[in-house]
Chains A and B, each alone.
Chain A
Amino acid sequence: GAGVSQSPSNKVTEKGKDVELRCDPISGHTALYWYRQSLGQGLEFLIYFQGNSAPDKSGLPSDRFSAERTGGSVSTLTIQRTQQEDSAVYLCASSREVRVESSAFFGQGTRLTVV
């Protein structure tokens, strides 16, 4: 596609429920990133994927968070047993490859509200 696409754009869920957030990266981009942006905060790194390499999961805040990337393209971020502190905008980005000079392009984000 022309840009990074995320769905849904908004998600309201009850505390304790599981949610899945989807990211379609730009076609041909081998690197994919997930970030979280809480109200009034900067962007918090969660995880990134590069080709067939093992993902860097160092930013995942707890074992309730997981992500997968199927076929080197679409990625799903799953949050189990959601808590109110999980409420945030979840942003996905992709870049042509994981190199220090590659530019990352961001999607519009999924706004998650846990009630």
Chain B
Amino acid sequence: AQSVTQLDSHVSVSEGTPVLLRCNYSSSYSPSLFWYVQHPNKGLQLLLKYTSAATLVKGINGFEAEFKKSETSFHLTKPSAHMSDAAEYFCVVSYQGGKLIFGQGTELSVKP
């Protein structure tokens, strides 16, 4: 069975410092993995996706994620946080046939 676990429900960083949002997945076969962001009162926006090509995936707004099969992880990182990065982030694994399984979400706060 496929599942995804976001290890932190809330992460707080200072502006200009690195961001790390952790995600682990379980899958019986090679998954596709996504990160989505949801700003307050906005829709979900795709940040990046991994689909068995390069293991280091670059997304929008300076975010990137690295697929590590040995660790079953797909952590999201950004070198320097910006105030506008404050939002809810969801790690998502794609079920065979396209069904998306969402993690519980990580709320990112950015302090000035």
Contacts and interface: CB of A to CB of B under 8 A. Distances in A.
Interface of A: 4, 31, 33, 35, 41-45, 48, 50, 56, 91, 93, 95, 97-109
Given A31-B98, A45-B100, A103 B42 contact: no
Given A95-B98, A108-B43, A100 B51 contact: yes
Contacts of A45: 99-102
Given A42-B103, A106-B43, A108-B42, A98 B97 contact: yes
B83 interface: no
B104 interface: yes
Nearest to A104: B100
Given A42-B90, A48-B99, A103 B43 contact: no
B104 A42 contact: yes
A101 B105 contact: no
Contacts of B51: 100-101
Contacts of B44: 91, 93, 106
A43 B102 contact: yes
Q: In the complex, which range does the number of interface residues on chain B fall in? A: 20 to 34
B100 A33 contact: yes
Contacts of A99: 98
A92 to B, nearest CB: 10
B77 interface: no
B104 A103 contact: no
Q: Which 10 A-B pairs have the closest CB atoms?
A: A98-B98, A101-B51, A43-B102, A106-B44, A42-B104, A100-B32, A108-B43, A42-B102, A100-B94, A106-B43
20 contacts: A4-B43, A35-B100, A42-B90, A42-B104, A43-B100, A44-B102, A45-B99, A48-B99, A56-B99, A91-B44, A95-B98, A100-B94, A100-B98, A101-B51, A101-B52, A101-B94, A103-B49, A104-B46, A104-B98, A108-B43
